[in-house]
Amino acid sequence: MKKYSLTILISCLFFFSSFAQEGMWLLDQIGDLDLNKKGLEIDVSEIYNPDQPALYNAIVQLGGGTSSFVSAQGLMLTNHHVAYTALQRASTTETDYIANGFVAREYADEIQAPGYQARLLQEMKDVTDEVLSAGKGIDDATERDKKINQKIAAMTDKLEKKSEDIDAVVAAMYNGKQYFLFVYKVFKDIRIVYAPPVSIGEYGGDIDNWMWPRHTGDFSFMRVYVSPEGNGAEYNESNVPYKPKVWLKVAKDNLKPGDFTFIIGYPGYTTRYRTSNSAAWNLKYNYPYTIKNFGAIIDLMEKITKDDHEGQLKVAGLKKGLANTMKNYQGKVDGMKKTKFVQKKREFEAVFMNWVNSTPETKAKYENILTDITAQYDIILKTKDRDNVMGTLRGLSCAQLGVAGQVYLNVKEREKPKKEQRPGFSEKTIERAIENMEYAYMRYYEPVDKAMFERSLNKVNKLPQGQRIEPLEYIFTSKSMSIHDFVNDAFETSRLDDPEYVISLYELSSKELEALNDPFINMIAALYPMMEESNLIYEEFAANVTDLRKQYIDALYEWKGSGLYPDANGTIRFTSGPVKGYSPANAVWYRPFTSLAGVLEKDTGEEPFDAPEKLIKLYENKDFGSYMDPELKDVPIAFLHQCDITGGNSGSPVLNAKGELIGCAFDGNYEAMISDWQYDAVLQRTISVDIRYVMFVTEKFGNASFVLEEMGAIR
């Protein structure tokens, strides 16, 4: 065994470590974490208690992020970048709430956040036995997976039929070793209360994204409304602010290095139990393709919307999302290469296989796990290029092709015999698609959509033999029309730029849709057999590889015992750790706090370092109010701490040892971008905006002290 094998073993078996800050734990696991010995000053039952109100009752899943109730009137604190799409959708060239910010001084002034929904957890329970019973005795992984999904759909449908504002989800933990039911109350009327301008909320832009030191006031306030009866209803002027049973209180003590912190939120997805094969696939194929593809789309959007304010507003949300993912993936690539991550994974797996082969019993059970996983990836490797381009065509070309696919595929699914429909499909699926139709057009800007569509078709046409998308060859073999001409003709003749017309198409059959001779529907209809075939391949891949990953986790349990936390999967989690800086390189130490002075140091007067004049004056006049930190002699902006988070945690409240609000999580650090794959206690940090900066900007810059009064947070 090489000298560094022990290090490899320790780093790869992160889930058996003693680091208090490691892990995105299920709420019912936190009683085993000895939190009071690590600095927590309240009882764990005050954080989570299924039988009485606790802090988790204040945590809300908001879109793709997290928020928290901070008043008795349904006021929520979240990130500016979580509220960003709402600001973009509500903006016009005259208002531009992204550039100018927004403040509502009365309830009546609060504006709708189009398309936003919030979910508040009502119940969580282990339903493993009930779910797995559906697949008992079935050896074929795909068929077993289908039966399990049908069972899950039946369970959730039964609960959702009880109320219009209930959403039920059964989530798999440890790749299907355990299943939890989560029941949520759904709120569909979300309104914007206060958001600072982007020059505060996104100060530093993509340059500073994922970086430290950070000087971003990444926060916004929104409010949840319900019907007068308390139901989660659609937007209506008669709706009233929701009254939560728990809301967070702002800390009165100043935060210091070493202080205990914890986060409750909704992290997206991690892959810490994946094998080297999955890591290598992402490093070699997935990440590089996505980085290159997204970069080209961003360049295209910037070129077309240069000096075009309306166009810039329309594509702002998409551009921001692509840039964020692109930089995140680049960080993962850099981190994997720098740490030789795949190599270390393989060396760890060699140690694992030594254990597997150590007894006849373990060898019989686990000998082929790793090679079987590799075989599954070999299957999807055959059509990798085609599938990448197909994904771009359907998801990142134009709104018309996207809605054509949505309508046609849902109608085809409705026409299937019920037992052949995909699990979870029902008329409610179509109802939701219709409800959300208008949002598909809120980023629609014809010059950009046309260019993206033409780009996608050119990518299709460049596919090599053996990877061709044969059903679309009619576009490229036409002697009368170039790709450019086809795009122009499609946009001129299609009526799919009209949301009301698109909604009416759900009343038709697939044959009637095809008879419309719409160019976008024609494309989807031609692609349908290939998409169905591809879906079957990926369904089999998902079922087989998930089953193998579950066996792999079973082996790890048997080898090293229990004590694992499940990978993040969009469900509510807990993490904790102290305020602490870090060393990104030799002889470099990053302190854990930034302050207002750093904003002026970075200020160039041009985006993304264009600090507002009023903010500069507040600093120059030392008009800090009661928000100055006694050690910094300045207003703190952001801080570092050792909590373990990932995408989806954006907007999560950060609480101190007393369970009081001290900040709002918004990022991780670039040096630890492979944290979705492996935790690193030395490098990994959460970056959070300090609640003192939130209050300072709200009161001193935004003249919105009424928000703080509602929170009971005036100092």
> Side chain identity at 43, as an amino acid letter?
D
Q: Containing H/E element for 488? A: helix 483-493
81 annotated active-site: yes
C-alpha neighbours within 13 Å on the C-beta side of residue 707: 30
Point out the catalytic residue in the list 81, 215, 449, 690: 81
109/502 Cα distance (integer angstroms):
32
What SS3 class is residue 539? helix
Task: Give the length of the chain.
Answer: 715
Sequential DSSP letters for 196-222:
--HHHHTTTHHHHTT-SS------EEE
- List own/partner pairs for 608-612 with CB under 8 A and 24 or more apart: 608/202, 608/203, 608/204, 608/205, 608/206, 608/207, 608/208, 609/203, 609/204, 609/207, 610/199, 611/199, 611/200, 611/203, 612/197, 612/199, 612/200, 612/701
Q: Would you say 687 and 667 are in contact if contact means Cβ atoms under 8 Å apart?
A: yes
Point out the catalytic residue in the list 96, 145, 189, 218: 218
Two tokens at 626? 């009661």
Phi, psi of 481 (to 5 degrees): -145, 125
First to last CA, the chain: 60
Q: Would you say 117 and 190 are in contact if contact means Cβ atoms under 8 Å apart?
A: yes
Point out the catalytic residue in the list 510, 650, 652, 688: 650
Two tokens at 240? 């009233």
Nearest one of 446, 442, 415, 438 to 502, comparing CA atoms? 438
Nearest one of 693, 708, 709, 571 to 255, comparing CA atoms? 693
Two tokens at 305? 């919307």
Tell me how many degrees the CA angle 92-649-56 measures, rounded to the nearest 5.
110
Beta carbons within 8 Å of 48's beta carbon, 6+ residues apart: 27, 28, 30, 54, 55, 56, 574
Give the residue numbers marked as catalytic. 81, 218, 650
